[in-house]
Amino acid sequence: MIGIISFFGFTLMVAIISYYATRTTDENSSDGYFLGGRSLTAGVIAGSLLLTNLSTEQIVGLNGSAYTDGLSVMAWETLAAIAMVITAIWLLPRYLKGGLTTVPQFLSKRFDVTTKTITSGLFLTGYVVVLLPVILYSGSVAISGMFNIPEMLNISNSKALWLCIWGIGIIGSIYAVFGGLKAVAVSDSINAIGLIIGGLLIPVFGLMAIGNGSLGAGLDTLMSANPDKFQSMGKPGQEVPFSTIFTGMMLVQLFYWGTNQQIIQRALGAKNLAEGQKGLLLASFLKILGPLILVLPGIIAYHYFEGGLSSSDLAYPELVRAVLPKYLVGFFAAVLFGAILSSFNSVLNSSVTLFGIDIYKQHINKDADEKTVVKYGKIFGIILAISAMFIAPLIANAGSLFNYLQEINGIYSIPIFTIIVVGYTTKRVPAIAAKIGVVSGSLLYILSQFILKPQFVKNALEEAKLSGVTDEAALKLIESDAYPHFLHVMAILFILNIIIMLIIGKIKPRETAYELEYTKQVDIEPWKHTKIAGAIVVLTVASIYIYFA
């Protein structure tokens, strides 16, 4: 009962603070609704960035990966810090100079409207088909299991799942559809504090359980008993082989933190460039600490349960159940609920923004005033949320989706990132090159990962079994070596797409060179310590890798 009271108490507190913080914002204008009135400060931006990124499929999934592969999976976290530094120094100044509300808006100015529409369509497809339903499903499984909803309400597991999905979906929709970006960002910032506190409690109590009440003794025991789990450089056959850090891993991070609408929209809402840069850099410092919450508990679970769990995806929830005092379960569930809501409402808000600005205003009603654009964006958001709530229960094995999601997102992430890079670094590559780059990049990736790869893997395993290989570990290694890692494939296609676009630009260049105009919507004077702070982040990440090499 105490857990339930603390859960509702913390959740209600976040809602009340968010309401009072946003009640004076003009939600009828595009800037007010989609960008929080271009008034976001560094702390709000940093908190919202972190909470938008974190949700149950990552907290549960990445710790599950650490249970299996150890510290090497921290690359998903530590390299994100470097990507945010690059975004703060190179991309954000260009975004704010152009007064962008959505990333595809730049593509309209640089190339043409069709390129923008294709890109917005790819973003929306990825959000609707993959992200929203997965966030709802994985979050509902976590909440239902933590409070044991089926037993509490005397209903079946499937009914409990539906109940949690619709509960999360409705509350998340209220924040995102009716509150706009500022409500999302403020609630994220509050939940960020709770997530850092609650997230750190799990490894603390876990290490104390291992060390018979001593945190230091627990850490010493964990490291001495499992030295192979504390290797920063991933081996072939693991989720993140070390070589991928220098190929597709960095590209994925740059796309996600620098061009993905659901993430970068927070920085686009900055009151000025300096606040945006400080927000990104503050988030990058905090991201370096991410493995304490997203990786270390998985390694602790491996030691605590002696590697005996039936599935690596059970590592985090089982550790929470085993080591967290009962009186803290409600608070932790509320924090986790906040993380689920954050990812859901952030994706939903970005989808509403993309539809309202890039689809409705551009193609459906060009004469619509800002109030009308916001109105139909909200209607689209409601339809989207309801659709995701119906799709979510159909998803299975949500706990193991983390790595799969990274792979499937490559269908649109690398092609979009490619044309943005070419768009900003060249002046005469034409619109036709961008359209070919996006379409060819997506189709080639689908061909590689979902047609060629399964066939190569199947042939390799059949040959191995015919040769008498039956050892499970050996078969896993053969399977991983049968085809290039998907992160390597992303890097290859990135380079190939750039070459294709440059060749087209050479053969048929733009008639006039593109020049980025300053819209003067916000001050773009950079923060004077940006490069120094960025260098410290990069050196810190490198030092961590060297120390654990």
Q: Residues with Cβ < 8 Å from 344, sequence gap 6 or more? A: 55, 132, 135, 136, 139, 168, 169, 172, 176
434-453 burial: b if 16+ Cβ within 10 Å, else e: bbbbbebbbebbeebbeeeb
pLDDT at 160 over 90: no
Burial class (CB in 10 A: 0-12, 13-18, 19+), 424: middle
- Whether the CB-CB separation of 202 and 336 falls below 8 Å is answered with no
**pLDDT the model gives residue 399:** 43
Q: Give the span between the Cα atoms of 176 and 273, in whole angstroms.
A: 25
Taking 90 as the threshold, does the pLDDT of residue 151 lie above it? Answer: no
pLDDT at residue 33, as a whole number = 47
The 10s digit of each residue's pLDDT in 415-471 is: 999 999 999 999 999 999 999 999 999 999 999 988 999 898 888 888 888 887 777
Q: pLDDT digits over 403-431, tens only?
A: 667 777 888 888 999 999 999 999 999 99
Average pLDDT over residues 25-51: 66
CB half-sphere exposure, 13, CA atoms < 13 A? 13
Most confident of 51-55, 203-207, 285-289: 203-207
Start-to-end CA distance of the chain, whole Å, equals 46
For 2-547, the fitting CATH number among 3.90.550.10, 1.20.1730.10, 3.40.190.10, 3.80.10.10 is 1.20.1730.10
pLDDT over 70 percentage in the chain: 85
User: C-alpha dihedral over 181, 268, 88, 243, to 10 degrees?
Assistant: 70
> Whole-angstrom Cα distance, residue 103 to residue 259?
7
Helices (H), 23-156: 30-35, 42-53, 56-69, 75-86, 92-97, 103-110, 113-126, 132-147, 149-153
Tokens of 256: 């996600």
Higher-pLDDT residue of 350 and 280 is 280
Contact 89, 534 (CB under 8 A): yes
State the Cα–Cα distance between residues 6 and 3, nearest whole angstrom.
5
Q: Residue 169 pLDDT > 60, yes or no?
A: yes
pLDDT at site 541: 95
CA-based radius of gyration for the chain:
23
pTM of the model: 0.82
Residue 68 burial (CB < 10 Å; 0-12/13-18/19+)?
A: middle
| CA–CA separation, 245 and 72 (whole Å) | 10
Domain extent listing, the chain: 2-547
DSSP 348-361: HHHHHHIIIIIIII
